[in-house]
Structure 1
């Protein structure tokens, strides 16, 4: 497992505690787990722009436990990468507990993905299919609690809602009774993709449990984040695509500022981000600030040097 200058100080010894943050009464701003995207370099960037809590991309717990190669490629952190939640895809309580034990010195907690609607995940028994298996979720939470001795190490779940909301509320109550630290609710069902988010459902869930709740779904500005928090009564908001398009969203910017673009370049180059990821993030960030013709040119660039030359020529340093 790579640690990129990780020193002896571990996350548990640092002052930022996500559970305390979520109980503070202040809006907690969260970067979602995003496959390929919410890695160390991007987490470093959004933290510079008022993001309070970051998640890793979803990691398959079984592979992580069994393969050193998987650990090295899937989980990279450093001392400044805190507070940090490692999200796992799992359907085996023992393997999840083992994975949590491995990451506990380097993270503030783990999250169980119970919301991913992708076919491959559900076919493997991961993701959103778990919302129909509350007993398995309870077992996984219990096993992690038993395996990790640190009481400040959080165990959370991220879910989607069900067509029958009473079942979702029941699931959340069972998770709460088992010791889950908080619950993130994406306000759509498994079948829904781009339909409006059911913030009313998130509100009902929040009203029926005592642990903190994070609202997730279609938040694109800081104002929207604040509105969603007010509407739902939740303790925080989680953003995915909105942050990809504008990593400075939580700092109140309506679109990606040029400083953020150059910050990304500095961070990505320092941490050795692969070119495809480096370039793709820039394509997302520049979507709103470039013309169609500029997009065609920029998106076709094939090297870091070409990207740097283009940005220097068009936007200065």
Structure 2
């Protein structure tokens, strides 16, 4: 069995499969759906420290949780140690997450253009200041998520500084920022970080199915796996990987039925937590219909709809026509 427990600070999970923080994706409804499918720990979308301190309603909504959404982490993005500290203290008091994560890996131009995300990796001093500022005042364990650098030694230097500053865990995405999501994730670089640190290290990047999950765990020796883009519209991936790691067998499934059920559950959760107006439903519908029979025609018609239930009926009608 390769599905080990994961302990970060005082939080211990029954497994080591994590949902990555993703902008416009990991709202409360989607996190709950992934958790129902076997995710052991989930993270919110990244929340801008500046926006949160300016009482931006959308940013405040991103931290929304529920008793079923435990344990969960809130990810913060920013470049000012002082503002990040103030925002983290607010999050600790308001949302009471099990973990507070600092985004040091986002490669998006709009993020690095403000000196945030992976741009932070250009300054070892700032990386250390940010983590130590948070760990010095928070009761909540602090984690960080980084991308690798061109030089392995510089990646290891950053990783060591994050640990020395008091972080309780580190997630490493095995691509450089300039690669965005192209080329393959570098498992060798992730393994080097794991071998260097004593805190838990989570592998991220190209965890897309059962075999890639097993290979990443075996090769890197990491304490857990973080799944990102492969979960978009496909929360069932957690159940598939968990089953495979525990039994060595693949789950047989009807993709058409399973994705429709997941999308229906997602719509119901959005309604339950009043998140419809703050979610790009069409974008999520496109992800949930990816790979289905006639998905191109379905997506074209979905673009004319705004209501989730109407989208579900459209997919059902199309399926009935096909079969």
TM-score if structure 1 supplies the norm length?
0.85
Counterparts in 2 of 1:123 and 1:71: CA distance versus 1, 3 Å: closer
Q: Is the 8 A contact 2:163 2:199 kept in 1?
A: yes
Aligned residues: 296
Q: CA RMSD in A?
A: 2.3
Where does 1:97-108 land on structure 2 (aligned, <5 Å)?
97-105=85-93, 106=95, 107-108=97-98
String of CA shifts for 1:247-293, please: whole Å, max 9, x gaps: 11010067571432222222122222326623322220221123255
- Structure 2 residue runs of 5 or longer lacking an equivalent are 1-5, 241-250
Q: 1:136 aligns with which of 117, 126, 129?
A: 126
Residue 170 (structure 2) aligned to one of 183, 193, 200:
183
**Partner secondary structure for residue 57 of structure 1:** strand
Aligned to 2:275: 273
Given that 1:18 and 1:108 are in contact with CA atoms closer than 8 Å, whether structure 2 keeps it comes out as: no
The answer on whether the counterparts of 1:268 and 1:278 sit within 8 Å (CA) in structure 2 is no
* TM norm structure 2: 0.84
Q: How does 1:17-56 map to 2 (within 5 A)?
A: 18-19=8-9, 28-56=16-44
Q: Give deviations 1:31-68, integer Å, cap 9, x for gaps.
A: 11111111111111111000011111111112212325
**1:62 aligns to what?**
50
Task: For residues 188-218 of structure 1, give each alpha carbon's deviation from its aligned partner in whole angstroms, at most 9, with x where no partner exists.
Answer: 1111131111111101111111111111111
Residue 302 (1) aligns with residue 316 (2): no
Alpha-carbon distance between aligned partners in 1 of 2:266 and 2:305, rounded to the nearest angstrom:
18
CA drift of 1:21 comes to 6.0
Q: CA deviation at 1:135?
A: 1.8
Q: Structure 2: how far apart are the matches of 1:48 and 1:208?
A: 34
Deviations 1:76-122 (Å, cap 9, x if unpaired)? 22222211111111111111111111111421121111111112211
Q: CA deviation at 1:299?
A: 3.1
Cα deviation for residue 18 of structure 1 reads 4.3
Instruction: Map 1:109-258 to 2 at 5 A.
Output: 109-148=99-138, 150=139, 153-193=140-180, 194-252=182-240, 255=255, 257=258, 258=260
Structure 1: gaps of 5 or more residues:
1-15
